[in-house]
């Protein structure tokens, strides 16, 4: 409730006052968890206009210009133009601590046409893995770095060295981001630790093939989600009209490649993939309150 109150206060400051809110609900939430979220919103003093499953919010935003990004001076275009009502779409969300694959039936809401009051969409199936996400990738890289350090520099036990572990995790996250943008990264941690012989440093170059070898077992945990989500929705892979990748890890090339390999479709990746569900929820609030 305190977190929601703080967020509401920040939002009110941006828009000039309190306004009705739509809560984006994780696809894996059950009725009890959703009820708890609504109770927290009430305690925070929010005026809740409705709730919307996160993957439905992502799809809604991708069907409008809000889901994409244009070159400087150009008109933004929807990422999924012409998607018909009822069309099944897979939404793959790989975030910091979990991965979720959902199947959403597109609604009849037409943000650029006459039917602006139509339904946003409907969640028809989902599957979640709590062991795949950005933090798990960081942990896998830290484990590999420690193994490398102990084999090539000094056989040191880092388990009780909180400061060294913090530096390792920070370096792992930076390397993960750099390897999502480029072909290589260098991890350079001087004075990582010390023993009787003096200070010890970690310097290691990491290329994308090596990074993908490290990340592979973590990412592979999410593959069964695709089949489970389709089975729970009674939708076949061939019926899917599109695949949307959201979450911070959607920028990782191997995640993009795995989605394309499994679904057989080029994934749609919003430029603001970490914010796309929030944008969709805001659009739904506008639709419910203003009818547009």
| DSSP of 36-88 | HHHHHHHHTT--EEEEEEHHHHHHHHHTSGGG----TTSPP--SSTTPPTT-E
pTM, two decimals, is 0.89
Give residues with Cβ within 8 angstroms of 168, minimum separation 6: 142, 145, 146, 158, 189, 192
**For 161-173, how does the pLDDT look when each residue is reduced to its tens digit (9 = 90+)?**
999 999 999 999 9
Mean pLDDT of the chain: 89
**For 106-156, how does the pLDDT look when each residue is reduced to its tens digit (9 = 90+)?**
987 665 555 455 678 899 999 999 999 999 999 999 999 999 999 999 999
b vs e for 156-171, b when ≥16 Cβ sit within 10 Å of the residue's Cβ? bebeeeeebeebbbeb
Domain with CATH 3.30.420.40 in the chain: 1-132+221-290
Q: Which of 44-48, 111-115, 215-219 shows the lowest per-residue confidence on average (mean pLDDT)?
A: 111-115
Give residues with Cβ within 8 angstroms of 4, minimum separation 6: 40, 41, 43, 44, 46
Tokens matching residue 273: 């993939």
Tokens matching residue 194: 């010390």
CA-based nearest residue to 208, from 235, 185, 226, 234: 185
When pLDDT is cut at 50, 70 and 90, the band that residue 68 belongs to is: low
Q: How far apart are CA 14 and CA 25, in angstroms?
A: 23
Q: Please give the CATH architecture assigned to the domain spanning 134-217.
A: Alpha-Beta Complex (3.90)
Q: Say if residue 20's pLDDT is above 60.
A: yes
Domain 1-132+221-290 fold is Nucleotidyltransferase; domain 5 (3.30.420)
Between 188 and 83, the higher pLDDT residue: 188
Rounded-to-10 torsion of CA 66, 70, 73, 77: -60
When pLDDT is cut at 50, 70 and 90, the band that residue 72 belongs to is: very low
Q: Which phi and psi angles does 260 have, rounded to 5°?
A: -65, -40
Q: Would you state the pLDDT for residue 150? A: 95
Q: Would you state the pLDDT for residue 83? A: 82
Segments of the chain assigned E as strands: 21-25, 48-53, 88-94, 99-106, 121-129, 184-195, 198-207, 242-246
When pLDDT is cut at 50, 70 and 90, the band that residue 73 belongs to is: very low
Q: Would you state the pLDDT for residue 11? A: 80
Termini Cα distance of the chain: 29
**For 237-260, how does the pLDDT look when each residue is reduced to its tens digit (9 = 90+)?**
999 999 999 999 999 999 999 999
When pLDDT is cut at 50, 70 and 90, the band that residue 71 belongs to is: very low
Neighbouring CB atoms inside 10 A of 255's CB total 24
* Contact between 193 and 161 (Cβ < 8 Å): yes
Domain with CATH 3.90.640.10 in the chain: 134-217
How many distinct helices (H) and strands (E) make up the chain? 9, 8
């Amino acid at each position: 409730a305190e977190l929601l109150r703080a967020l509401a206060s920040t939002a009110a400051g941006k828009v000039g006052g309190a306004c009705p809110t739509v809560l984006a609900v994780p696809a894996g939430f059950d009725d009890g968890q959703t009820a708890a979220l609504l109770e927290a919103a009430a305690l925070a003093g929010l005026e809740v206009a409705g709730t919307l499953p996160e993957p439905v919010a992502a799809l809604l935003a991708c069907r409008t210009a809000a889901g994409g990004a244009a070159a400087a001076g150009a008109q933004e275009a929807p990422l999924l133009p012409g998607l018909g009502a009822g069309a099944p779409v897979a939404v793959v969300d790989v975030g910091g601590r979990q991965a979720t694959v959902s199947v959403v039936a597109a609604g009849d809401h037409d943000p650029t046409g006459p039917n602006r009051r139509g339904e946003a969409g409907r969640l028809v199936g989902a599957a979640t893995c709590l062991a795949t996400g950005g933090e798990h990738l960081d942990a896998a890289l830290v484990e590999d770095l420690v193994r490398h350090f102990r084999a090539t520099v000094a056989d040191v036990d880092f388990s009780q060295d909180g400061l060294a572990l913090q530096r390792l995790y920070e370096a792992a996250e930076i390397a993960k981001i750099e390897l999502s943008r480029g072909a290589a990264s260098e991890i350079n941690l001087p004075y990582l630790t010390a023993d009787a012989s003096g200070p010890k440093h970690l310097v290691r170059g990491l290329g994308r093939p090596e990074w993908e070898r490290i990340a592979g077992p973590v990412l592979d945990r999410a593959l069964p989600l695709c089949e489970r989500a389709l089975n729970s929705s009674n939708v076949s892979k061939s019926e899917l009209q599109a695949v949307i990748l959201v979450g911070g890890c959607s920028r990782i090339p191997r995640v993009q490649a795995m989605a394309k390999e499994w679904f057989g479709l080029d994934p749609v990746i919003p430029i603001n993939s970490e914010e796309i569900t929030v944008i969709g929820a805001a659009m739904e609030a506008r639709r419910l309150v203003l009818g547009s």
